[in-house]
C-alpha cells in the first residue's frame, strides 16, 4: 500500500507523514530526495543554469515563486527526475519481497494482479508537496491532504525564521489552492489544532487503511 500525503507550504504535511511511521509505514520524504538529487546531478544543474542563469537555490526560489511561467519551466525539468527517484526508493523498500513488481508506462507500480499490494504488505508513505501538480496520483493508493487555517500556516512558517511573510505568501500562491487539492483527497487532516488532535486523526486513518 502506498499513501500520498500532500498539502500546501507550511500546513504540516511532513509532520503528519512522520506520524504514520508509528503504524508501520516507511516514509519517503520527496523534498529531502530532491535535495540529494540536486546536490549530485550535474546534468540537471547544467540545464537549470542554462534556463535560469543560476543554480543557487535561494536565487531560483526568488525567480520561480514570483513567476508562474518560470515555475512551470523548473518543474518540467525536475519532476521527471524526481518521479524516477521515487520509483527507485519504492522498489528499494519493497526489496526482494515481490519479484513481480514492475513499472508500467503510466508510472504506476503494479504486480501480476494489477495493483500495488506486496506479498509482505509493505506500507509506504510518500511525503510530496506537489503530488497533484506533478500528476503523481496514479502512483499511490490513497491521498491524504493536510490543511490548516492560513493564520496558523503563516505563523508557523514565520516562527521558523527562514522566510519573510511576503516570501511565504508568494510560495503559497504558487501552489495549487488547498481547496482544490482536497477534491483529490481520500482523507483530509485538519492540522490547525493541537498536535494531539492531529495524532488522533492520523491514528484513525491508519486504522481504516489497515482494515481488509
The strand order across the sheet containing 142-147 reads 26-29, 124-127, 2-7, 142-147, 187-190
Query: What does the mean pLDDT of the chain come to?
Result: 86
pLDDT for 108 beyond 60: no
pLDDT at 113 over 50: no
50, pLDDT greater than 90: yes
Residue with grid cell 519481497, as numbered in its chain = 97
The pLDDT confidence band at residue 61, using thresholds 50, 70 and 90, is confident
pLDDT bracket for residue 114 (50, 70, 90): very low
The answer to whether the beta carbons of residues 131 and 137 sit under 8 Å apart is yes
Res. 120 pLDDT band, cuts 50 70 90 = low
Tell me: pLDDT of 101 over 70. no
Using alpha carbons, list the distances in angstroms from residue 179 to 1, 133, 144, 161, 182: 26, 14, 13, 27, 5
Cα Rg of the chain (Å, integer): 18
pLDDT tens string 162-184? 889 998 998 998 889 999 999 99
Mean pLDDT of 11-20: 96
Cell numbers 525539468: residue: 77
Mean pLDDT of 86-95: 87
- Mean pLDDT over 122-128 rounds to 93
Q: What is the pLDDT confidence band of residue 208, given thresholds at 50, 70 and 90?
A: very high
Question: Distances in Å between the alpha carbon of 41 and those of 33, 36, 37, 81, 134?
Answer: 12, 8, 6, 10, 20
- Of the chain, the percentage scoring pLDDT greater than 70 comes to 88
As a whole number of angstroms, the distance between CA 82 and CA 78 comes to 6
Domains delineated in the chain: 2-209 (3.40.50.300)
Asked if the model's pLDDT at residue 99 lies above 80, the reply is no
Amino acid at each position: 500500500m502506498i499513501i500520498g500525503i500532500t498539502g500546501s507550504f507550511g500546513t504540516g504535511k511532513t509532520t503528519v507523514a512522520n506520524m504514520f511511521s508509528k503504524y508501520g509505514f516507511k516514509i519517503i520524504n520527496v523534498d529531502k530526495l530532491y535535495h540529494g538529487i540536486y546536490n549530485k546531478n550535474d546534468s540537471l544543474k547544467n540545464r537549470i543554469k542554462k534556463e535560469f542563469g543560476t543554480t543557487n537555490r535561494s536565487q531560483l526560489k526568488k525567480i520561480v515563486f514570483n513567476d508562474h511561467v518560470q515555475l512551470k519551466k523548473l518543474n518540467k525539468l525536475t519532476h521527471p527526475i524526481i518521479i524516477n527517484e521515487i520509483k527507485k526508493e519504492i522498489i528499494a523498500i519493497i526489496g526482494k519481497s515481490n519479484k513481480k513488481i514492475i513499472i508500467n508506462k503510466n508510472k504506476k507500480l503494479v504486480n501480476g494482479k494489477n495493483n500495488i499490494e506486496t506479498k509482505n504488505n509493505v506500507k509506504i508513505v510518500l511525503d510530496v508537496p506537489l503530488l497533484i501538480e506533478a500528476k503523481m496520483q496514479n502512483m499511490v493508493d490513497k491521498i491524504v491532504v493536510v490543511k490548516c487555517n492560513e493564520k496558523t500556516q503563516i505563523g508557523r512558517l514565520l516562527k521558523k525564521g527562514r522566510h519573510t511573510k511576503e516570501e511565504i505568501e508568494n510560495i503559497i500562491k504558487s501552489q495549487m489552492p488547498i481547496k482544490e487539492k482536497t477534491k483529490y483527497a481520500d482523507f483530509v487532516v485538519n492540522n490547525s489544532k493541537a498536535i494531539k488532535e492531529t495524532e488522533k486523526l492520523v491514528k484513525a486513518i491508519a486504522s481504516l487503511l489497515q482494515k481488509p
